[in-house]
Amino acid sequence: MTSRMFGTLLLMIALALPGFTQQTSSSSAAQQPASAGQAASTTASDVTLEPLRPATSRDFWDGDEPNLVNLIAHPMARKAYVKRQTQPIQDRLNELDELTTSSAQRIKDIDTRTQHGLQLASEKTSLADQHATDAATKAQTAQLAATDANTRVSTAEHMVGNLDQYKASAQTEIRFGAGQTVLSKKAKDALDEMASSLKSQHSYLIEVQGFAPGHGQGAITASQQMADSVVRYLVLNHEIPLYRIYVISMGSAPVAGETAGRAVGRHVEVSLLKNDLISSAQH
């Protein structure tokens, strides 16, 4: 019985020695990668997480209870042993998952901000284009207005230059008896014939010159009274604007260029002056 137990103990020792030797060599080999891992951690300063370090065995049992069962089963890769060996790797994988999730969220936020910035830039570009189009339209409108204004100014200058280009169109002589200032029927008919064509006319003037024989102020007054009779008839009967009538009391003064044999005495000369240049410009 004793020899059987002794034989069993020797068999167990023989089985345990290879595992112990392997564990010892694994511990020695693990110390070298650990030193190399520390050097890599020292040089790679930009890495946030420390590199994984191989688990070093504290003793032969490595956390197992020192009994006969664990003595036989310890060198085997049991579930608890594998879990202890892989737990640091699983923790690091969890940390990497968290880092990946955080990085993905940051990338998403950056992409969102970028898209928002691009949208704002596109809106500002569209607004700038709209302002440029509006400015171009206003500039074109201003150019057209300036061109139209220049045309109007040129037309006005042309019309102003032609304001004094009046020419005699018709002339009527109204005779008065001695001491009379009342228009006769023949005088009225002559004035009617002249004024009837002026209803729709604009570019015309009427010149009324009164003549009376005598000397001094008496002749001037008599010629003024006859001229006033003609003006009064044109204004009241034909609605000729007063600003179109020019009255001159000549008295007995001779007219420039008067020909010999021209009738003298109490009479009024009515001259119709027209400006054909202004009429054509208005039409």
Q: Which of 47, 76, 105 is the last residue of a domain?
A: 76
Domain that includes residue 48, residue range: 2-76
Domain assignment present for residue 209? The answer is yes
What is the pLDDT at residue 281?
52
Q: Write the CA distances from 33 to 26, 71, 141, 167, 269, integer angstroms.
A: 11, 28, 84, 124, 137
Q: Is position 138 within any domain? A: no
Helix (H) or strand (E) holding 94: helix 79-161
Dig out the tokens for 189 from the structure: 């008919």
On the CB side of 243, how many CA atoms lie within 13 Å of its CA? 2
Q: What is the pLDDT of residue 4?
A: 59
As a whole number of angstroms, the distance between CA 125 and CA 119 comes to: 10
Going through the chain in order, the beta strands assigned E by DSSP cover: 167-175, 204-211, 245-251, 267-274
pLDDT of residue 68: 67
| Residue 224, in any domain of the structure | yes
Q: What is the pLDDT of residue 203?
A: 81
The residue ranges of the chain whose pLDDT is under 70 are: 1-78, 81, 158-165, 255-264, 277-283
Predicted TM-score of the model (pTM):
0.43
Give the three-state DSSP class for 201. Answer: coil
Do residues 274 and 203 touch, judged by C-beta distance below 8 A?
yes
pLDDT in tens, 91-116: 889 989 999 999 999 999 999 999 99
Total of domains in the chain: 2
Which CATH number do you get for residue 203?
Answer: 3.30.1330.60
Pull the structure tokens for residue 249.
């009391």
Among the three residues 25, 55, 76, which one is the final residue of a domain in this structure? 76
d(CA 107, CA 118): 16
In this prediction, residue 197 carries a pLDDT of 82
Output the pLDDT for position 15.
Answer: 55
Nearest Cα to Cα of residue 175 among 226, 123, 120: 226
Residue 113 lies in a domain: no
CA dist., res. 209 & res. 171, Å (int): 11
Domain final residue, candidates 61, 76, 91? 76
Residue 179 lies in a domain: yes
In a domain, 194, yes or no: yes
Assess contact for 178 and 266: CB atoms under 8 A.
yes
Distance CA 239, CA 241 (A): 6
- Strands, sheet with 245-251, edge to edge from the N-terminal-most edge strand: 167-175, 267-274, 204-211, 245-251
Predicted pLDDT at 45: 43
Query: Quick one: 172 and 71 in the same domain?
Result: no
Q: Return d(Cα 81, Cα 112) in angstroms, integer.
A: 47
Residue type, 75: P
